Amino acid sequence: MSSAKITLIGMYNYDNTLFDLLSLPEDIDKQTLVDNILLRSGEFEVLYPDMDFLKYSIGAWSRKWQRTFDRWITALNIEYNPLENYDRQEDWTDNRDVSGTNSETTSGTDSGTTSSTTGGTTGSTTTHNISAYDAGNTYTPRDQDVLSGTDSSSSSGSTSLTRSGSLSGSHSLDDDLTHSGRIHGNIGVTTSQQMLQAELDLGLWNIYEKITDLFLTEFVLPIY
């Protein structure tokens, strides 16, 4: 006559708070997982028959595997095209910053000298004639006036002009050019049919089954 086994289902029926300390990521439904654990445990004997210790152990176990569960959820939530095996995305940003200053200065002096001189001689002679009353049209000089002289003048001068000027300016150019590109598709290392089959196989991967496997490994004795 075989001895009675303490099973997980029996302990849960005795105290339905058995899984209260079980901690799971938000994307995993706790009740669905508990139901699957109870169904899979069947008539297997519990490794820790003490109720309080088993409740604490379940909580500690879930905290230990929390990071693994999170990574499984993240991987399963990745969006992708199952028939593509190449997806390259690139972003470029070109920054062009150019600045400078232009400066120009001009200066100069214009100067010159002008001079002129004028000169000449001026003079005149006036002769006074006289005739006797009985000489007819015969005249003899009596006296003459002579006037002579020189004229001269000069002028000089200078002019000067000084000019200066400056021109300055600055310029700057700041450009940000952003480009993005994406190349994706099937590069031929795997056929579309093979990738489709891999996608169907992945669809059979069930996170509740995987977590249940880990749970049963630690809390029950799989002996019929």
55 and 21 Cβ atoms separated by less than 8 Å: yes
Residue where the block lists tokens 């056929």: 191
DSSP assignment of 103-117 equals: EEEEEEEEEEEEEEE
Give the chain's radius of gyration (CA, Å).
Answer: 62
The pLDDT of residue 124 is 66
pLDDT in tens, 58-108: 999 999 999 999 999 999 999 988 878 777 878 878 777 777 777 777 776
The pLDDT of residue 71 is 97
Closest CA to 8 of 53, 52, 39: 39
pLDDT in tens, 136-149: 666 666 666 666 66
Q: What is the DSSP letter of 28?
A: S
Residue 134: pLDDT above 90?
A: no
Token couple for 126? 């006036």
Token couple for 104? 């120009």
Domain residue limits, the chain: 8-85+191-221, 104-176
In this prediction, residue 1 has a pLDDT band, given cuts at 50, 70 and 90, of very low
Choose the weakest-confidence range: 29-38, 104-113, 173-182, 183-192: 104-113
pTM across the whole model = 0.57
The pLDDT of residue 107 is 73
